[in-house]
């Protein structure tokens, strides 16, 4: 009988929220390091909230996280917490006392999320940075105009009486995902700002599914 050969075809599906980046990835240290100590601890405590912890499970033992086996368990500087409640209390204690930011980052990456940081967690880190530093990034504003007709009438803008089109982030996201997905692998995240009258659509591009078909 002829042996079947497995064929792997690239998929255009978007990357899921739960896709994990290895905790040893250096860029994670840089990403987490953008936040202040207090903002970082607030975010971790949010991850450990009862309504969110299933989406961001911490490492509490060999069977606490799917598809992850810790090596050299006894050599870690951070002993395992017995429960989410205990771990939440640890981070609340860190928030209540003074200390360095690096100890929090090390605890996250080498201890409680040693199995990796999910793409959704990374997106939340980026959005928290924008909330903390609303003028820390350079923004480019573009104007959408019809392909046909007199475009000169659309150049004024900035007028309080100027009508704005209704914009639904989820509909926009589905449309842009349909256009982008065949070209690159990406993670999509919608976030409504708590301090600005804005809704952010974050697109985190990994690479093309056709660059590495194997």
Gap between the Cα atoms of 36 and 43, Å rounded: 11
pLDDT tens for 16-49 read 999 999 999 999 999 999 999 999 999 999 999 9
Q: Give residue limits of the domains in the chain.
A: 20-138+165-205
Helix-then-strand count for the chain, H and E: 6, 4
Gap between the Cα atoms of 64 and 124, Å rounded: 23
Cβ neighbors of 128 (< 8 A, separation 6 or more) are: 35, 39, 42, 43
pLDDT tens for 153-204 read 555 555 556 666 677 778 888 888 888 888 888 999 999 998 888 888 899 9
Write down the residue that tokens 């999910």 correspond to.
118
pLDDT tens for 46-71 read 999 999 999 999 988 766 665 566 66
- The helix or strand, by DSSP H or E, that contains position 28, with its residue range, turns out to be helix 26-33
Token representation of residue 39:
């903002």
pLDDT tens for 85-112 read 999 999 999 999 998 999 999 999 999 9
Find the angle CA(177)-CA(182)-CA(185) to the nearest 5 degrees. 75
């Amino acid at each position: 009988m002829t042996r079947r050969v497995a064929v792997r075809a690239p998929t255009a599906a978007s990357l899921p929220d739960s896709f994990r980046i290895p905790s040893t990835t250096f860029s994670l240290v840089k990403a987490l390091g953008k936040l202040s100590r207090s903002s970082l601890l607030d975010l971790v405590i949010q991850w450990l909230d009862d309504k969110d912890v299933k989406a961001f499970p911490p490492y509490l033992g060999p069977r606490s996280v799917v598809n992850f086996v810790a090596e050299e368990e006894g050599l870690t500087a951070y002993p395992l917490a017995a429960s989410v409640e205990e771990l939440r209390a640890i981070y609340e204690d860190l928030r209540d006392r003074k200390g360095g930011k690096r100890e929090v980052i090390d605890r996250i990456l080498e201890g409680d999320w040693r199995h990796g940081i999910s793409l959704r967690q990374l997106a939340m880190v980026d959005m928290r940075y924008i909330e903390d530093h609303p003028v820390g990034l350079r923004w480019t504003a573009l104007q959408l105009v019809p392909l046909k007709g007199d475009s000169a009438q659309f150049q004024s803008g900035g007028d309080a009486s100027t009508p704005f089109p209704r914009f639904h982030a989820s509909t926009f996201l589905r449309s842009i995902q349909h256009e982008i997905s065949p070209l690159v692998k990406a993670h999509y995240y919608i976030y409504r700002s708590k301090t600005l009258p804005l809704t952010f659509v974050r697109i985190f591009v990994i690479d093309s599914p056709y660059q590495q078909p194997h």
